[in-house]
């Protein structure tokens, strides 16, 4: 078994490049017409073939026996480039060689003609990490390059490259590889190497690679070594520290149902097994995202994904991952997001109909019927995700209350357990007044009751004050 599958199966000509057909077509036409630029910027995510393509281009330009503008990979120039020993192809990693001295050395060497090839090709990886002085030194060379010199500048962060550099080079954009392309590449390697595999195992690796063929091959090789020339699902889950779907689903349900005991139990199990909470959050985000399209109103799922993403970023810089994970997830659970109410509130209230059971598991919430068309109209207005005036903070507060109409008076009654919702509605009372008055066009009063006591009464017949739109969520 080869010790490095990535190097062994690295593309050696343009036709072997995976997932970048636009790049292949561009260089095929450029070579055919003899219209090669003196400088290229290869921009795109890591592991998508930027450096590999640069080397293939270097071979195509210096090959002694090109085949339909592809390198032959057999002449001494091609063989030497493949071994990284060709004197006319100079590679520099700007991540570790970012200073002005290195660029000055390159600038000075461009004055000399190629020794064996047609062109001197300079490949600079991660060149966005060069210092300002180094950029300035490189700029002078790019402005008046010798005819025998070609620069290929590869970067994963084009935004950090000065505009003066960008304007003097052809930009070639590389995209993340599709899961399908990565899967086909892995199958090809497995078949050539005689490695047994599960289809599902390769699919998971292709998905986890996030568009990077290099990362996919690295994970594949890691699992293959562990599995003794086999890549099976169980080994993939174990080696990559992944979670089965039932664990992820249970975690999401514990969070959305405000099940603190259930969450803490899962957290204990997670860290006891030595698994990474970052991976759990990543898988949870993917799981939620996949099910969003099945939901009519995915508001809470979106909020949960956003929160998980914030926690994920915090974990990357945390010295105590367990503490950070537990505290921040618990903070989200107890932040006043009554998730069982949220989950139950995504059905439209039918005209003239009722909201029967808002939450069958939590007695703190209102379970009375809403059968008044005016109340139905108000509720549907504030929860409509298509309305620019929607305020879900108001909507969820209204859901927590007992609502009734008596003698041109709309009463929102909150129990002692609903202080938060009561305070939220007080905060947004002006917005509530304005919109109710517009909806009903009648003289109604709005009363807020807390624990059966009438604390506030607001007359809609009076001119409502202006308000600034605010959003709690």
pLDDT digits (tens, 9 = 90+) for 384-416: 544 555 566 677 777 778 887 777 778 888 887
Q: Please check whether residue 44 is in contact with residue 175, taking contact to mean a CB–CB distance below 8 angstroms.
A: yes
What distance in Å separates the CA atoms of residue 203 and residue 422, rounded to the nearest whole number? 49
**Among 229-233, 264-268, 348-352, which stretch is predicted with the lowest mean pLDDT?**
348-352
Q: Which residues contact 293 (CB under 8 A, 6 or more apart)?
A: none
Q: Please check whether residue 362 is in contact with residue 340, taking contact to mean a CB–CB distance below 8 angstroms.
A: yes
Length in residues, the chain: 473
Mean pLDDT of the chain: 82
Tokens of 9: 């199966």
Q: Please check whether residue 357 is in contact with residue 376, taking contact to mean a CB–CB distance below 8 angstroms.
A: no
- At residue 227 the predicted structure's pLDDT band, cuts being 50, 70 and 90, is confident
Q: Tell me the CB-side half-sphere exposure of residue 262, using CA atoms within 13 A.
A: 14
CA distances from 310 to 215, 299, 300, 324, 337 (A): 24, 17, 15, 11, 17
Q: What's the pTM?
A: 0.66
Nearest CA among 447, 440, 443 for reference residue 460: 443
pLDDT at 109 over 60: yes
Span 293-300, mean pLDDT? Answer: 72
- At residue 442 the predicted structure's pLDDT band, cuts being 50, 70 and 90, is low
Cα Rg of the chain (Å, integer): 31
Q: Please check whether residue 357 is in contact with residue 411, taking contact to mean a CB–CB distance below 8 angstroms.
A: no
Report helix, strand or coil for 378: helix
**Among 1-5, 181-185, 325-329, 434-438, which stretch is predicted with the lowest mean pLDDT?**
1-5
User: Strands 170-173, 149-155: parallel, antiparallel or unpaired by DSSP?
Assistant: unpaired
Tokens of 193: 């190497």
Q: Which tops the pLDDT comparison, 340 or 197?
A: 197
| Residue 3 burial (10 A CB sphere; 0-12, 13-18, 19+) | exposed
DSSP alpha helix (H) spans, 63-99: 76-82
**Among 158-162, 202-206, 311-315, 386-390, which stretch is predicted with the lowest mean pLDDT?**
386-390
Report helix, strand or coil for 62: helix
Residue-level pLDDT at 390: 55
Distance from the Cα of residue 321 to its chain's centroid: 21
Q: DSSP assignment, residue 15?
A: G
């Amino acid at each position: 078994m080869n010790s490095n599958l990535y190097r062994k199966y690295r593309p050696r000509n343009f036709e072997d490049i995976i997932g970048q057909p636009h790049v292949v077509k561009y260089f095929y036409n450029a070579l055919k017409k003899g219209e090669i630029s003196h400088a290229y910027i290869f921009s795109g995510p890591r592991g998508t073939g930027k450096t590999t393509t640069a080397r293939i281009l270097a071979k195509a330009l210096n090959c002694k026996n090109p085949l339909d503008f592809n390198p032959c990979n057999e002449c001494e120039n091609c063989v030497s480039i493949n071994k990284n020993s060709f004197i006319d192809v100079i590679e520099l990693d700007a991540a570790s060689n970012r200073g002005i001295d290195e660029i000055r050395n390159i600038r000075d060497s461009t004055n000399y003609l190629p020794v064996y090839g047609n062109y001197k090709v300079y490949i600079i990886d991660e060149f966005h990490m060069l210092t300002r002085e180094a950029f300035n030194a490189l700029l002078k060379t790019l402005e008046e390059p010798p005819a025998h010199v070609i620069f290929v500048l590869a970067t994963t962060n084009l935004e950090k490259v000065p505009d003066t550099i960008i304007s003097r080079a052809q930009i070639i954009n590389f995209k993340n590889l599709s899961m399908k392309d990565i899967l086909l590449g892995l199958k090809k390697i497995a078949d050539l190497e005689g490695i047994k595999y599960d289809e599902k195992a390769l699919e998971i690796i292709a998905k986890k690679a996030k568009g990077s063929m290099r990362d996919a091959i690295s994970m594949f090789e890691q699992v293959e070594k562990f599995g003794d020339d086999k890549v099976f699902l169980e080994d993939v889950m174990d080696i990559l520290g992944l979670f089965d779907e039932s664990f992820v689903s249970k975690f999401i349900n514990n969070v959305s149902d405000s099940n603190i005991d259930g969450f803490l139990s899962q957290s204990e199990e997670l860290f006891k097994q030595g698994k990474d909470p970052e991976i759990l959050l990543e898988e949870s985000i993917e799981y939620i995202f996949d099910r969003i399209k099945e939901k009519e109103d995915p508001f809470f799922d979106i909020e949960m994904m956003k929160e998980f993403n914030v926690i994920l970023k915090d974990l990357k810089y945390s010295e105590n991952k367990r503490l950070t994970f537990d505290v921040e997830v618990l903070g989200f659970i107890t932040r006043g997001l009554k998730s069982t109410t949220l989950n139950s509130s995504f059905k439209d209230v039918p005209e003239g109909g009722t909201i029967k059971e808002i939450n069958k598991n939590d007695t703190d919430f209102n379970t009375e019927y809403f059968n008044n068309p005016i109340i139905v109209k108000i509720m549907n207005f504030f929860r409509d995700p298509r309305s620019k005036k929607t305020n879900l903070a108001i909507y969820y507060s209204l859901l927590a209350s007992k609502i009734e109409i008596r003698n041109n008076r709309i009463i929102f009654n909150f129990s002692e357990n609903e202080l938060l919702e009561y305070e939220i509605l007080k905060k947004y009372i002006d917005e509530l007044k304005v919109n109710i008055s517009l909806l009903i066009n009648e003289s109604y009063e709005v009363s807020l009751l807390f624990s059966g006591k009438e604390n506030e009464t607001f007359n809609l017949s009076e001119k409502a004050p202006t308000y600034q739109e605010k959003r709690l969520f």
